[in-house]
């Protein structure tokens, strides 16, 4: 039989057990909170250590998934328009799943809701929200959701998206608080990574400018400097193609002197109008011009085809202000790559402006050297005229007067012959003086300008503008006489196309490789009929034979005709 004192002893014991259990629960909660704070600090340190932007973004996504114990996590970077996603970094989805799902989300549905309202968003079931857009095929099932914006200097950079908390439980306020704290640290880390990336880019641009300036000031050829500009722009901008075009003397068109990268041959030597081309638009506006898809832009003429597989493109003028635009540099990325940002355009424009200054300084140096050469020539011509000719003339007069006193006929004849030789020598020296003092022809007399001029004159007759491509030192290597024949043959060929070919497309290619000059004119017309008049072709062939060259005429299987006129270049 129990004693009357037993209930009094058991009651305090029960309360003590409850208190101990509550204390243990609080200790466990405190320990869990401590571990979570410790994990949060580790995540902040891990994210802050990354200086490469892509690595930093991936580290942020991984840390977010770990902190809130989510099966799937993503970081969407908001694009320049502020309403869509330009990049998407994921954790938890395999490469095979990504390939099956297809294109990354662009910012519709729940993802767009966080973009439109940059505040934390927690959902028990994603499909129940009014903004739910649904999932594409092969997408993993997702219900619970937690979204938090990431701000960089008071601007929303992107959003963290977490789904499917492990254990089948919901995301709670503590998860939201932890994720908001991580987002603040992520904003600082992203800002640091962007500043570091920007400083590295500026360093690379400065090194490239120094390299170009050194190349120009050390006397390198103009074409080599342009090639260096294209190569460095392509490397630093991460582009598939880079090209540099310079204006022709007429000021109405550009010629692509340098092209490097994908399908460079399709661009090199092209003559582009100021309207209908991205480079022409940048040249006319003296400002950067960009496009999201260079192959499908209404402002750009698709002929000739030259942007296969390329998407975002940016054209920047080389030089502005009082010096004028000296050319245009174009960079283009593959389709699907990010568009060029305003910061990238600003850096490329600064690079092009510095390159223009270097080009101008090099030209001033060459002008000074040329002036020194001309002044020296003028001094030599003056000395020849004032000293050498006068002395020769005086010697001739002396011999001529002395000949009257020579009685021996043979001796007298020799003296008179010497006087004639002196007169001939004086003529030769005077010709040399004229050559030293002669001025060069106008800038518009170059073969490039003459070819563009002929094509422009024939365009109204043809009813369309032929595409023009010129390669090599056309103005430098081709002698004046040969250039006259080239212009005559081109005019005759285009006239024949207008009269007989019934074509709607033609191409002119002029090349000079240092050994020969080649003019190729092709069209998509009816070809050369059998038995027709061939006086024009005969004239072209005779011109080629006169210079030691030849003319080839062929009719491709697809229709039309191709005329190839080649003559050797004789060294001056």
**Residue 495 in contact with residue 457, Cβ under 8 Å?**
no
User: For the segment 530-566, what is each residue's pLDDT rounded down to a tens digit?
Assistant: 655 566 788 888 889 989 999 998 876 667 889 999 9
Residue 17 lies in a domain: no
Residue 355 lies in a domain: no
Distance of alpha carbon 149 from the chain centroid: 34
CA distance 270 to 284: 18
Report the candidate in 227, 217, 229, 308 with the shortest Cα–Cα distance to residue 266: 308
**Residue 87 in contact with residue 106, Cβ under 8 Å?**
no
H-type alpha helices, 408-469:
409-437, 447-462
- Of 388, 420, 437, at which residue does a domain stop? 437
Sheet with 310-318, side-by-side order of all strands: 289-291, 310-318, 327-334, 241-247, 253-261, 270-273, 467-472, 506-512, 516-523, 561-568, 550-554
Kindly give, in sequence order, each residue whose CB lies less than 8 Å from that of residue 168, ignoring residues fewer than 6 positions away. none
Tell me the mean pLDDT in the region 361-386. Answer: 69
State how many domains the chain has: 4
Tell me the mean pLDDT in the region 227-251. Answer: 86
User: For the segment 19-71, what is each residue's pLDDT rounded down to a tens digit?
Assistant: 556 555 555 544 545 555 565 666 566 666 666 778 888 888 888 888 888 88
Q: Are residues 80 and 132 in the same domain?
A: yes
Output the domain CATH number for residue 524: 3.30.565.10
- Of 401, 416, 437, at which residue does a domain stop? 437
Q: Are residues 236 and 264 in the same domain?
A: yes
Provide the 10 A C-beta neighbour count for residue 484.
Answer: 14
Report the candidate in 549, 539, 556, 428 with the shortest Cα–Cα distance to residue 503: 556
Residue 26 lies in a domain: no
| Cis previous bond, 84, omega within 30 | no
pTM of the model: 0.60
Domain that holds residue 461: 443-568
Q: Are residues 50 and 185 in the same domain?
A: yes
Burial class (CB in 10 A: 0-12, 13-18, 19+), 400: middle
User: For the segment 252-304, what is each residue's pLDDT rounded down to a tens digit?
Assistant: 788 888 889 988 888 888 888 888 889 989 998 888 999 988 888 888 888 88
Q: Are residues 112 and 244 in the same domain?
A: no
pLDDT-derived band at 228 (thresholds 50, 70, 90) equals confident
- The distance between the two most distant Cα atoms of the chain, rounded to a whole number of Å, is 182
- Of 285, 305, 340, at which residue does a domain stop? 340
Q: Are residues 44 and 183 in the same domain?
A: yes
Output the domain CATH number for residue 285: 3.30.450.40
Q: Which of 177-181, 278-282, 483-487 has the lowest mean pLDDT?
A: 177-181
Q: Are residues 469 and 548 in the same domain?
A: yes
**Residue 315 in contact with residue 282, Cβ under 8 Å?**
yes
Strand 561-568 with 289-291, pairing: unpaired
Burial class (CB in 10 A: 0-12, 13-18, 19+), 320: middle
CB-facing half-sphere around the CA of 115: CA atoms within 13 A: 22
Q: Are residues 304 and 428 in the same domain?
A: no
């Amino acid at each position: 039989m129990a004693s009357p004192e037993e209930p009094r002893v058991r009651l305090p014991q029960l309360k003590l057990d409850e208190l101990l259990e509550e204390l243990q629960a609080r200790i466990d909660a405190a320990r869990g909170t401590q571990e979570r704070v410790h994990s949060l600090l580790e995540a902040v340190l891990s994210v802050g250590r990354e200086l490469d932007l892509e690595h930093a973004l991936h580290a942020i996504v991984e840390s977010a998934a770990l902190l809130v114990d989510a099966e799937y996590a993503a970081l969407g970077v908001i694009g320049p328009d502020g309403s869509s996603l330009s990049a998407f970094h994921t954790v938890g989805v395999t490469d095979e799943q990504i390939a099956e799902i297809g294109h990354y989300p662009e910012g519709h549905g729940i993802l767009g809701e966080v973009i439109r309202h940059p505040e934390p968003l927690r959902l028990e079931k994603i499909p129940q929200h009014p903004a739910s857009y649904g999932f594409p095929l092969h997408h993993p099932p997702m219900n619970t959701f937690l979204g938090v914006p990431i701000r960089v200097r008071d601007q929303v950079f992107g959003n963290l998206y977490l789904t499917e908390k492990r254990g089948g439980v919901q995301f709670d306020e503590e998860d939201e608080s932890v994720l908001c704290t991580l987002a603040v640290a992520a904003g600082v880390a992203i800002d640091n990574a962007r500043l570091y990336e920007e400083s590295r880019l500026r360093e690379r641009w400065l090194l490239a400018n120094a390299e170009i300036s050194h190349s120009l000031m050390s006397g390198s050829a103009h074409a080599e400097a342009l090639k260096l500009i294209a190569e460095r722009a392509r490397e630093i901008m991460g582009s598939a193609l880079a090209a540099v075009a310079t204006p022709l003397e007429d000021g109405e068109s550009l010629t692509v002197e340098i092209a490097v990268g994908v399908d460079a041959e399709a661009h090199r030597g092209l003559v582009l109008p100021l309207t209908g081309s991205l480079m022409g638009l940048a040249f006319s506006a003296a400002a950067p011009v960009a496009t999201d898809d260079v192959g499908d832009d209404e402002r750009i003429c698709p002929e000739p085809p030259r942007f296969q597989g390329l998407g975002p493109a940016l054209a920047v003028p080389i030089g502005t202000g009082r010096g004028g635009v000296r050319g245009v540099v174009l960079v283009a990325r593959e389709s699907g790559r990010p568009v060029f940002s305003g910061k990238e355009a600003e850096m490329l424009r600064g690079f092009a402006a510095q390159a223009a200054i270097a080009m101008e300084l090099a030209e001033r140096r060459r002008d000074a050297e040329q002036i020194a050469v001309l002044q020296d020539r003028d001094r030599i011509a003056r000395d020849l005229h004032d000293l050498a000719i006068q002395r020769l003339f005086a010697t001739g007069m002396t011999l001529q007067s002395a000949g009257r006193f020579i009685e021996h006929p043979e001796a007298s004849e020799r003296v008179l012959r010497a006087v004639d030789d002196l007169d001939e020598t004086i003529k030769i020296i005077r010709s040399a003086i004229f050559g030293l003092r002669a001025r060069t022809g106008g800038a518009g007399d170059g073969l490039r300008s003459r070819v563009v001029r002929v094509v422009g004159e024939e365009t109204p007759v043809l009813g369309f503008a032929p595409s023009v491509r010129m390669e090599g030192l056309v103005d430098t290597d081709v002698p004046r006489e040969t250039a006259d024949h080239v212009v005559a043959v081109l005019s005759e060929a285009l006239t024949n196309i207008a009269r007989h070919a019934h074509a709607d497309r033609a191409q002119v290619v002029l090349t000079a490789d240092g050994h020969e000059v080649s003019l190729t004119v092709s069209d998509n017309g009816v070809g050369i009929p059998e038995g027709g008049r061939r006086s024009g072709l005969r004239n072209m062939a005779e011109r080629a034979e006169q210079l030691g060259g030849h003319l080839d005429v062929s009719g491709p299987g697809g229709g039309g005709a191709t005329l190839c006129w080649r003559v050797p270049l004789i060294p001056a």
